[in-house]
């Protein structure tokens, strides 16, 4: 199977332009072949059995990042698999918003691949960064990413909805808490792309229809004691519940609440001060 044959084959699923981009990425990342190499016919030496398995996974709409086992984020390459969400551009925008602060003690809740925590620790070298996740498998991925990037982050297995007493009683421990928690309601499933719905971890995606702010509320309640005076909450959020989240934070006595749009003009981020 050549590059041309691969992209024509998966074009039935992705369309021509996306199929070509995916095929180029496969050849570049997995086999070290540039577009010039492909145009010169240097793809003939690619292992065919492996390429067939890759094609089958792509035809099942498995995200190319999982197929390759990696994803780029904020100038670094992160290991990803089915246990963690694929890092996305809007999350990178959230990181850039935080990097502009002078926070020195940061907590990332629901770290997944560790992309937020590791990026902040790398770009804010004076900061001590702690990262939580409920998933043991996700934490293995995050720890591997920290090791590969030579960045120190303190990873802990913690369920923010059921905090152990030694953590729930912490006071004034952090000057910034950040989270990209589950925020998609189950009723939104029918509008989602199959490559997300069928392959990315549902525990990191979905919340009950009757409580879309479940994780935000738990984190904000924890922030009332765990944040230092004038400390900050930073969230990625579902644009559908931006106003409801702003109102909830205000009722919890957070102030200087700011909503921020992503590159597509959607209200995707929010911050609030204790």
Report DSSP letters for the chain, one per residue.
--HHHHHHHHHHHH-HHHHHHHHHHHHHHHH---HHHHHTTTTTTS-HHHHHHHHHHHHTT--HHHHHTEEEETTEEEE--TTSPPP-HHHHHHHHHHHTS--SEEEEES-TTSHHHHHHHHH-TT-EEEEEES-HHHHHHHHHHHHHHT---EEEE--TTS--HHHHT--S-EEEEEE----EEGGGGGGS-HHHHTTS-GGGTEE-TT-TTHHHHHHHHHHHHHEEEEEEEEEE--GGGHHHHHHHHHHTT-EEEEEEE-TTS-EEEEEEE-
The band of 44, judged by pLDDT with boundaries at 50, 70 and 90, is confident
User: What pTM does this model have?
Assistant: 0.91
d(CA 97, CA 234): 9
Q: Are 82 and 66 in contact (CB under 8 A)?
A: yes
Residue 198 pLDDT level (bands cut at 50, 70, 90): low
Of 86-100, 176-190, 209-223, least confident by mean pLDDT is 176-190
Nearest to 81 by CA among 94, 99, 92, 67: 67
Distance (Å, rounded) from C-alpha 138 to C-alpha 124?
Answer: 23
Q: How many angstroms separate the CA atoms of 180 and 183, rounded?
A: 8
Query: Which tokens hold the place of 89?
Result: 């551009």
Q: Is the pLDDT of residue 62 over 70?
A: yes
| pLDDT tens-place string over residues 102-160 | 999 999 999 999 999 999 999 999 999 999 999 999 999 999 999 999 999 999 999 99
> Does residue 228 register a pLDDT over 70?
yes
């Amino acid at each position: 199977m050549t590059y041309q044959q691969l992209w024509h084959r998966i074009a039935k699923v992705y369309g021509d332009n996306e199929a070509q981009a995916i095929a180029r990425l496969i050849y570049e990342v997995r086999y070290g072949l540039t577009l010039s190499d492909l145009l010169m016919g240097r793809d003939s030496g690619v292992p065919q059995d492996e390429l067939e398995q890759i094609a089958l996974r792509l035809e099942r709409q498995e995200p190319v990042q999982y197929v390759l086992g990696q994803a780029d984020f904020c100038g670094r390459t992160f290991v990803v698999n089915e246990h963690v969400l694929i890092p996305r551009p809007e999350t990178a925008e959230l990181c850039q918003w935080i990097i502009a602060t002078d926070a020195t003690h940061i907590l990332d809740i629901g770290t997944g691949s560790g992309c937020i925590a590791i990026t902040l620790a790398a770009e804010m070298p004076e900061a001590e960064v702690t990262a939580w996740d409920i998933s043991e498998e996700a934490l293995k991925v995050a720890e591997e990413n920290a090791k590969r990037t030579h960045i120190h982050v303190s990873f802990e297995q913690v369920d923010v909805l059921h905090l152990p007493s030694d953590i729930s009683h912490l006071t004034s421990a952090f000057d910034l808490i950040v989270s990209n928690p589950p925020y998609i309601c189950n009723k939104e499933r029918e509008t989602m792309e199959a490559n997300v719905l069928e392959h990315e971890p549902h525990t990191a995606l979905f919340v009950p229809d009757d409580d879309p702010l479940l994780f935000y509320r738990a984190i904000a309640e924890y922030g009332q004691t765990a944040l230092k005076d004038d400390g900050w909450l930073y969230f990625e959020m579902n644009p559908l519940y931006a106003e409801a989240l702003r109102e909830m934070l205000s009722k919890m006595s957070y102030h200087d609440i700011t909503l921020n749009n992503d590159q597509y003009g959607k209200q995707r981020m929010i911050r609030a001060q204790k």
